[in-house]
Amino acid sequence: MNKGGKKSTTASATSPAIVKAATRAREALELRKAGKSFSKIAEALGYGSSNGAYQAVKRELAELTRQPAEELLALEVERLDELFGALWEQARTGDLDAVEGTRKLIMDRAKLLGLVTQKVQVEPPSRDAMWERVRGWLSEPTPELVRVLEECGWKRDRITS
């Protein structure tokens, strides 16, 4: 039951069905590593099709690569935290090098955790470049541009000159 008193429709991570599916996916991966085709894996483990076996193996491989990546991320964050701790007291007492070091560590940690997005700086075109584009539009105006300019009181001869 959930907080509202209704029966939950989602299975817990340790429910028998979830455990059985995970075990079967691991077995599918082992059979694939042994050189079995997806159709043979599906037949051996009771998947409805070779695509079902393929999807199970694909999910299991994704899980295998996700775990080491998470462990490496945790290790790197721990290292940054230790370095930060070593500089923190010095920074609090006004050591400017330590202040700069802690600032850099904070930014490195934030980037590592995906809390900082990279800014892309776009230089606007120069005024001359903008006017060149406008002259180009006016030298060969589209019917829509002519209509808009005429509505603003421009005469056709003034548009192209």
Highest-confidence range of 20-24, 63-67, 81-85, 142-146, by mean pLDDT? 81-85
Q: Is 115 exposed, middle or buried (0-12, 13-18, 19+ CB in 10 A)?
A: exposed
Contact yes or no for 63/53 (Cβ under 8 A) = no
* Per-residue model confidence (pLDDT) at position 6: 57
Condensed to tens digits (0 to 9), the pLDDT of residues 115-141 reads 887 777 788 888 888 888 888 877 887
Per-residue confidence at 158, pLDDT binned at 50, 70, 90? Answer: low
Contact yes or no for 25/57 (Cβ under 8 A) = yes
Say which residue, 20 or 155, is predicted with more confidence: 20
Most distant pair of Cα atoms in the chain: their distance: 81
Q: Kindly tell me if the per-residue pLDDT of 159 is higher than 60.
A: no
Q: How far is CA 80 from CA 12, 56, 73, 97, in A?
A: 34, 37, 11, 17
Contact yes or no for 159/146 (Cβ under 8 A) = yes
Q: What's the pTM?
A: 0.43
